A and B are shown apart, each in its own frame.
Chain A
Amino acid sequence: MSAQPQPAIAVTGLTKVFGGRKVVDDFDISVPRGAIYGFLGPNGSGKTTTIRMLCGLLTPDAGDGQCLGFDVRREADAIKAEVGYMTQKFSLYEDLSIRENLDFVARMYGVAGRKARVDRALAELGLADRARQLAGTLSGGWKQRLALAACLIHDPKLLLLDEPTAGVDPKARRDFWDEIRRLSKAGVTVLVSTHYMDEAVQCDFIAYIAYGKKLIDGPAAQIPTMVGLTTWRVSGPELGKLEERLHGMPGVLQVARFGSVLHVSGIDGAALEASVRQLEAEGTHQWSLQPAGLEEAFIYLMAGARDNFAGDPAGAPL
């Protein structure tokens, strides 16, 4: 590790307590420069709180580390100047026009050559001719693009994106991720939280968080191997009935339906195979072994997490 340059983010033991409950518990993360790092986890798992601590909006109750070479506890102001933070909820002024919003944010960061920079952002957005439209009248997809443009206006070195594509149509999501990859190639480090598996697979690294704890992290491609799942794919008639039979068979930990196929997964590969062979012998379904995917891995992790945290008030519906 010593040969590598300093990571963009390196924190250890990050903890945040709200009302006696650990929302983020002893969180470590190291994000290499220029990487796309994905935060995955269910709602209320502490993703937003973690991101807010990284950019100085919240003061950690414990833990320390650096973000872009600045101390996360003491140098929040320096971090803010170099970070672009896109909030989960649209947080530009709905009663300002598109240009006024971009101009306001540019002023906040003291961007040099502000007018030219705003003009360029408007041109890149393709909104130059609608610059005087009120931001509140934009559709969800356009709001998201405007928000991204606003948090890029000061050319930050690190982008923190909190569920940026929630409620955005598939085409806009794809465009959005093209932009993220382009930025990453240009050297911008991107930390993005998401619920979508198709977005998770686009990340270089992934951390999975549940109930404030990091369950696993690593390069996206290695996560399923790290979890150690074996997955069988099965297709054929009456999958519903088959699914019921599979539950409770030796070695079967989870059965997940993907369109017209079932993915049957387990940790104990030998026991799972024995169960599969038994059903395969009936000859009604087509079975094939396949490498476990991210989605199976996360469903498995979630199930485990729920067990570990049973009785935790975090899991209780509000």
Chain B
Amino acid sequence: MSGVFSLSRFLAVLLKEFIQMRRDRVTFAMMIGLPIVQLLLFGFAINADPRHLPTLVEVGDDGPLVRSILSGMDVSGYFDFRGTVEGVGAGEDALRRGEANFVVVIPDGFERDVIRGLRPQILISADASDPSAVGGAMSAMSGILEGAISQTLSGPLAGLANGPPPFSLVVHREYNPEGRTSTNIVPGLLAIILSMTMVMITAVAIVKERERGTMEMLISTPVRPLEVMLGKILPYVVVGYIQTIVFVLAAGLVFAVPFEGSMLAFFIGFNLFILDNLALGFLISTVARNQMQAMQLSFFTILPSVLLSGFMFPFAGMPGWAQALGTMVPATHFIRLVRKVMLKGAGIGDVSAEFVALTVILVVISIGAMLRYRQTLD
């Protein structure tokens, strides 16, 4: 029991640890892969000042001043013009469906009214359910407008360029008028909590069975794989239901998050999402050798759900490849669905795209899980 440090004992332990690490390939891959992935995500994908936000315009006038304003917005990089809308409510619908973050409305005879000194209004409706997505763009607007004014209003009209702006900008922050972050974060959090617990619990529950040797007993009985799979998964569906109920109540009571839309759309959506996560957990359980690996792999799948789904950072602000990755994450679609339903009052028709995406992901993951699952010990 000497207190002297033994170098040879220390090296023996060190070597043993390295050997064990090398044999545990999944953990090893995680240890290497995790920092790399995190670096990539934080370094490139996340953008707190998102640009290229999809924008629609409703133009009642296409004179040089309007064109100058629009091209100024375009050049600023914040706005990506995706087209025009016409008619009452069309812009609103596009916002609710998530097709655009902004709808710019320029009224009829805008330029004429400017010249007459009537100070007409430009209306920008912004989807403020994600406040950080619109904040940067909105603060850039005043500079864009000044530039447009000084370029266009020259010669006899130069007098208008000085003094107070010859027209006013009205911004409607839709769905989250106060721009509160909690209104945005809380519905998204449901997706994160559900994916974290559902994936992890399912993966661990099944791997535990194998690790403790009880799987050998189980499959030596005439029980069928589907029976095992459903029997192990369904209890966790119930857990997911309870989590969701508690969550929706807490969101309303604690954070005063509204629930504007269709209950049925929400119900269908969160069931699909829970199934996605359980299937993912099952898939992980077919890969992981022990509970530790199952935990690590589950945690690994949480990262894209947090970072690429539009939960913490605006989806539209990410580069194309990161958006493509994010599209494969079930949480991306569920977060959109929850925000649309809770904040924007969407009905079933408005979230059909999310239903389709969640179903496609479910089918793909389930096929993978069933292919990997073995009823024998081979």
Q: Which residues from chain A sit less than 8 Å from chain B, CB to CB?
A: 52, 55-59, 76-77, 80-81, 83, 85, 87, 89-94, 105, 108-110, 150
What's the Cα separation between A105 and B221 when bound, in Å? 8
Q: Which of B212, B214, B220, B377 is in CB contact (< 8 Å) with A80?
A: B220
Given A56-B376, A58-B377, A59-B378, is A77 in contact with B213 using a C-beta cutoff of 8 Å?
A: no
- Can you name 7 A-B residue pairings with CB atoms under 8 Å? A56-B220, A57-B216, A80-B221, A80-B222, A83-B220, A89-B216, A94-B212
Whole-angstrom CA separation of A93 from B212 in the bound complex: 8
B214 contacts across to A, CB distance below 8 A: 91-93
- B209 to chain A: closest residue by CB: A93
Which secondary structure dominates chain A's binding surface?
Answer: loop
The chain B residue sitting closest to A77, CB to CB, is: B222
B377 in contact with A81 (CB, 8 Å): no
Chain A: minimal CB distance from B223 (Å):
5
Chain A residue nearest to B224 (CB atoms) is A77
Complex CA–CA separation, A52 to B215 (angstroms)? 13
Is residue B218 within 8 Å, beta carbon to beta carbon, of the partner chain?
A: yes
Contact A87 B216 (CB under 8 A): yes
Binding site for A on B (CB under 8 A): 212-214, 216-223, 376-378
Which residues from chain A contact B221 at a C-beta distance below 8 Å?
Answer: 80, 105, 108-109
Q: Which of B212, B219, B222, B376 contacts A59 (CB 8 A)?
A: B376
Q: Which residues of A contact B222 (CB under 8 A)?
A: 77, 80-81, 108-110
Contact B376 A89 (CB under 8 A): no
**B residues less than 8 Å from A81 (CB atoms):** 222
Are B216 and A108 touching (Cβ within 8 A)? Answer: no
Q: In the assembled complex, which residues on chain A have CB atoms less than 8 Å from the CB atom of B216?
A: 57, 87, 89, 91
In whole angstroms, what is the CA distance A87 to B216 when docked? 8
Chain A residues positioned under 8 Å from B218 (CB to CB): 108
Contact A57 B217, beta carbon cutoff 8 Å: no
**Min CB–CB distance B289 → chain A (angstroms):** 15
- Which of these, A57, A90, A150, contacts B376 with CB under 8 Å? A57
Given that A77-B222, A105-B221, A108-B222 are contacting pairs, would A57 and B377 also be in contact in the complex, using a CB cutoff of 8 Å? Answer: yes
Among B213, B223, B378, contact of A91 (Cβ-Cβ < 8 Å): B213
Top 7 A-B pairs, shortest CB-CB distance: A108-B221, A91-B217, A85-B220, A91-B213, A89-B213, A80-B222, A81-B222
CA distance A89 to B213 in the complex (A): 7
Known: A57-B220, A81-B222, A108-B218. A87 touches B378 (CB 8 A): no
Residue of A nearest to B374 (CB): A59
Query: Quick check: B217 and A87 within 8 Å, CB to CB?
Result: yes
The chain B residue with its CB closest to the CB of A89 is: B213
The residue in B213, B220, B376 that gathers the most chain A C-beta atoms within 10 A of its C-beta is: B220
- In the assembled complex, the Cα of A89 lies from the Cα of B217 at a distance in Å of 10
**Least Cβ distance of B16 to chain A in Å?**
13
